[in-house]
Chains A and B, each alone.
Chain A
Amino acid sequence: MNILVCIKQVPDMESRFKVNGTGDWYDEADLAYRMNEYDEYAVEQAVQLKEQLGNQPEITVLSIGADRVGEALKKALAMGCDKAVQVQDNDSARKDPWQIANIIAAFAADKHFDVIFTGMQSQDRGSAQVGVTVAELLGHNCASTLVGFEFADGVVTAKRELEGGVKSVVKVPVPALVTCQLGLNVPRYPTLPNIMKAKKKELQLVPVANLLKEEAATGTEKLYPPVKSGGGIVLEGDLSDVADRLLGILKEKTTVMK
């Protein structure tokens, strides 16, 4: 069995973001990067599947971006992936989801991956388009927003989270692509021997031009923080006084007390 995990490296969401000079993305200076949270669930699930199948499958982990994505790939290798592919692209932030999906599909086209794991979406762009588009381009079955994953006899039984807390269970025969989200598993903390081993695992470099033949389907017009609408009020002072004032505000300015 062949498994592919697609991961993205994103800035630490606790960072202070500034819009960049061209006004179409955030300024990348002074940011600390890490693996996209949803992709950690994808890596964990891939490694769990490998373990379930007696460690037979080979897991390839792929990331698109500048050399810094090597760190995210190393973490995935330390968690249990077997080899890594970096699609070298210093300008990946300007690629739209269609192009990103095409890059992945072009890479995966001749490699016969039985199961492809991706995160539900990235924490920075959050389009949630890439995984499902890859499935479409490859003609794989697809299930998104997974909170449960089982595999038996070539069929993935996926538990999906739908709107309003409703869950659904679908059976997806391989080849299949699943997108993973919070609640699916607890990503493992890599052990030190595995961190050491990860340093020796294969890292394949592929120039993005070898894989990307598509034009962007969408473009970013402008990036800006939401306009501030009204300020918050901080009530300070004696606790019972604060409570009274809060009660007054709730009565006068809102409908919650009516």
Chain B
Amino acid sequence: MQSHQYFMPVFAVAILAFCYSCYQRLQLVGEGAAENRFDRPGERLAGVFAYAFGQKRVLARPFGVNHFVLFWAFMLLLVANADFLWEGLFPGSGLSALPEAIRNPLSLVFDLVSLAALASVLVALARRLFFAPSYLGNDYTKPCSGEALLILGMIATLMAAYFVLNAAHLALGQTAWMPVSLAVSSLLRGLPAATLETVANVSWWLHAVVLLLFLNFLPRSKHMHILTAIPNCYFRSLENPAVPPREVFEPGKRFGVSDVEQFSWKDLLDSFSCTECGRCQDLCPAHNTGKSLNPRRVIHDLKVNLIDGGKPLIGAKGEGTSCEEALWDCTTCGACLSVCPVLIEHLPKIVKMRRHLVQEKARFPEELLNLFENMEQRSNPWGIAPSERGKWTGTLGDRTFKKGETEYLFFVGCAGSFDSRAKQTTVALATTLDRAGVSWGILGKDEICCGDSVRRLGNEFVFDKMARGNAELFRERGVKKIVTACPHCFSTLKNDYKQYGVELEVVHHSELIAQLVKDGRLGAPKKIDQGKVLFHDSCYLGRHNDTYSAPRDVIEAATGAAPRDFERNREKGFCCGAGGGRMWMEEQTGTRINHERVQEALKQQPDTICVSCPYCMTMLEDGLKDQGAEKVRVKDIAEVMAEALNDR
């Protein structure tokens, strides 16, 4: 191995520059607010193995295999390149000093892995050039961005230089287990030794310089994810990532986020971990219907804002700034959260920025003024008198929850109590529970809204009051188990209320009914033919709580057949458009989300669309009406079950 004079200073400068860049970025991350993401290290490490080393989410899409190959090639070549640099500094003291029995297999692995890396880079390049999926590009970048081509070009150059370098050495008579390099060396045979020396020298320097450039390019590009993705997986949210943190309401404090450093350090680390794969953008219902929001862009703008400094975080659309309209577009469906390979938490960031707009600026779409006042005054979105809450019970008699006697609190929720269509679901569930002999009761006029909409809309102050009120009410009444027919109540009571010390057994009615069927407590429901049944996944039941089979099981028990799925289903289900408080807002930009979903359904010509959420019910019924397809019925799973029970 020849010595490379001048390498030491080149290396020193490059490493110093790299360290400085990393320090700068880390310092920026350190500007974020404190947040404890250091607990439960075992669980965190397990996540790193699954998501980072196992590439669990990357592999969820077919093309992820290519990334998997490149990732593991990088991991192995990390050793090869460390050795390369070491040998450059201290010739003859690296792996080359090892006995052949170890060196040869290592060389073989490096040689083959380099070929794999080169192949995957070429496939990635071809994908960007010839068959790029639509979600790679958007309004600020395109699949063949200079940055992407530069990165792929650098990796390809590294591999090529590596092969030529080894080939030259082999041609000079060195022996090693390097089949790929050997094949390349056949092209070099016959060249004079001096020329081969030059080829080797040039290749070495090319490899060295590109490697050091690549290293320095990382922290200054989207390729920073090579350094941050693994820690980002480690520091992921171990709770439900869709649940935003509580706020402390003290005078003099600031509420929500209007400046980038008000985000937590983990929020900022997220921004450096995004490599712009575009999967969140691909699934986002707002982005898909031509609205301002693009979750990928929110993260990108956060990073640009952090790096550039001085730009407003929320304001007129521009790189580094999120526009208010985009923040209000979010339905909090959580598709971005569930698909991100490196577990970036988009949703809580949007809620944090909404908190600033609502609480510090009182700036929000005007429809919300009415909503907020109704929530504050009457604790329901419609502003109906709280005394009307229990009215749906009608002929069922007094069903008040009795402390120490009643097993389940039926938390009816605002829609189930006041919306005339949703009330039918409420009654259907009540009769089903009665049929199974389940002990249940309601709070009636004392029930207050769970606060889901106000929390997602950023009105944390009002949510806080509601959550504390409910927590107190549950304690006072001795509630231990809750059943609800609304996934929004369900998820809020189950997940958000943990922050208020409420750790009850909360079940969605789909889970309870499925269990009752399984336990034989509903007998054998008569199979009622509902025609061709499509099941629409509710975001708050599915993605937010990972419950996919229970509602399908209920439909199957009631109709005798498993329902069909939408093209986009389960984790990839498409929102109805009503979550995140969007239920109470106008949808003025782009096409309507519920129309898109209904059109997707109509392609399969269903007779019945089954839902498990009152919001989905409203949105899909409205969508069908707008599309002139009212003959398609929308039914809640509880209604389908009640019909099957009544027809016995």
Contacts and interface: CB of A to CB of B under 8 A. Distances in A.
A104 B378 CA distance: 31
Interface stretch (A159-167, A174-182, A190-198, A246-254): A190-198
Nearest to A34: B377
A219 B41 CA distance: 75
A240 to B, nearest CB: 15
A27 B570 CA distance: 53
A199 B249 CA distance: 13
A192 B372 CA distance: 13
A193 B377 contact: no
A191 B361 contact: yes
A191 B360 contact: yes
B361 A14 contact: no
A234 interface: no
Interface string A1-37: 0000000000010111000000000000000101000
B385 A16 contact: yes
B360 A193 contact: yes
A18 to B, nearest CB: 11
Interface in A196-242: 196-197, 199-200
Given A12-B377, A12-B378, A186-B369, A191 B385 contact: no
B368 to A, nearest CB: 8
SS class, residues of chain A in contact with chain B: loop
Contact of B359 (A16, A191, A200): A191
Nearest to B460: A192
Given A14-B384, A16-B385, A34-B377, A189 B251 contact: no
Given A186-B366, A192-B359, A16 B387 contact: yes
Given A14-B383, A14-B384, A15-B385, A195 B461 contact: yes
Contacts of A189: 362, 364, 369, 372-373
SS class, residues of chain B in contact with chain A: loop
Contacts of A196: 249-252
Size class of B's contact patch?
20 to 34
Nearest to A192: B359
A14 B360 contact: no
B385 A199 contact: no
Contacts of B251: 193, 196-197, 199-200
Contacts of A200: 251
Nearest to A197: B251
Given A189-B362, A189-B372, A191-B359, A12 B249 contact: no
A123 B219 CA distance: 64
Nearest to A195: B461
A188 interface: yes
A192 B383 contact: no
Contacts of A186: 366, 369
A191 B385 CA distance: 26
Contacts of A192: 249, 255, 359-360, 461
A15 B359 contact: no
A15 B387 CA distance: 8
Nearest to A32: B377
Interface in B381-395: 383-387
Contacts of B249: 192, 196
B505 to A, nearest CB: 32
Which has the most chain A C-beta neighbours within 10 Å: B252, B255, B362, B384?
B362
B30 to A, nearest CB: 27
Contacts of A12: 377-378, 385
Contacts of B250: 196
Nearest to A33: B377
Contact of B378 (A32, A188, A191): A32
Contacts of B384: 14
A195 B250 CA distance: 11
Contacts of A15: 385, 387
A186 B367 CA distance: 12
Nearest to B383: A14
Contacts of A34: 377
Contacts of B385: 12, 14-16
Contacts of A195: 461
B262 to A, nearest CB: 14
A224 B256 CA distance: 50
B424 to A, nearest CB: 16
A1 B476 CA distance: 51
A15 B386 CA distance: 8
21 contacts: A12-B378, A12-B385, A14-B384, A15-B387, A16-B385, A16-B387, A32-B378, A34-B377, A189-B362, A189-B364, A189-B369, A189-B372, A191-B361, A191-B362, A192-B249, A192-B461, A193-B251, A193-B360, A195-B461, A196-B250, A196-B252
Given A32-B377, A189-B364, A197-B251, 6 more contacts: A16-B385, A191-B359, A191-B361, A192-B255, A192-B360, A193-B360
